[in-house]
Amino acid sequence: MEQLPLGVRLQSASTFDSFDVGDNAPLVAALEARASGAHLPPLWLWSSAGLGRTHLLQAVCQRASRAGRRVGYLPLSEAWVTAEMLQGLEALEVVCLDDIDVVAGAADWDRRLFILYNELAERGHHLVMSASAAPGALTVALPDLASRLTASVVWAVKPLPEDRHGVAIQRRAEALGLELSDEVLNFLLRRLPRDLAALCRALDRLDRAALARQRRLTVPFVSSVLEELLD
């Protein structure tokens, strides 16, 4: 997997195959086209938390990397990420910037985002961005950057119906190589909030615990791990 040398690791389960598309088929198709190398403008996807923005950005990177393209994923909401880290990303063929709304409006970030946007465009490389709102709803200090962001192809991620959460979790479990019985799945759906992001985080934690302790996912084991999480 070719990605940024910044300690950023992509979640192996965050692929297009493990994403329950629901009403987002056109958006997924647009992302897959950019991962494949089609010459297309920058794409901005937005939604409230928990609808799969990070999953989709990482899926773009994984698909593009498997095709032999140089990719980079940067979670801008992380405290250790700095504006200086944008320098040099123009050399990558696909750049995915997660939670861009967290940094937009800060002068140094705006300047470096503007430079990166232009340099990627000049090279014919791809830029995919995520945020909690459409670009026009953000306060951006640099007018030239604001005009470019609003000119991006903008997609809103549509929520997955609650009755599809179980299917989505089963797909993620399969991508992780976990055997998730109907009994355990129903236990998770009863025990945890009907928030897909929370369910995915819990499943990732169960995956790590099962690997560390060499255990299968049974209801007693899952219950004990969830007790640790909720304490």
Domain 25-156 CATH class label: alpha beta
Rounded Cα gap, residues 45 and 60, in angstroms? 12
- Taking only the tens of pLDDT, the chain with its 231 residues reads 344 444 456 777 788 988 888 899 999 999 999 999 888 999 999 998 878 899 999 999 999 999 999 999 999 999 999 999 999 999 999 999 999 999 999 999 999 999 999 999 999 999 999 999 999 999 898 999 999 999 999 999 998 877 778 888 888 888 788 889 999 999 998 888 777 778 888 888 898 899 899 999 999 999 999 887 665
208, HSE (Cβ side, Cα atoms, 13 Å): 10
Which strand (E) or helix (H) includes residue 225?
Answer: helix 219-230
pTM to 2 decimals?
A: 0.78
* Domain limits, the chain: 25-156, 162-230
Domain 162-230 has CATH 3.30.2130.10: no
Q: Identify the three-state secondary structure at position 73.
A: strand
Token pair in block for residue 171: 């797909």
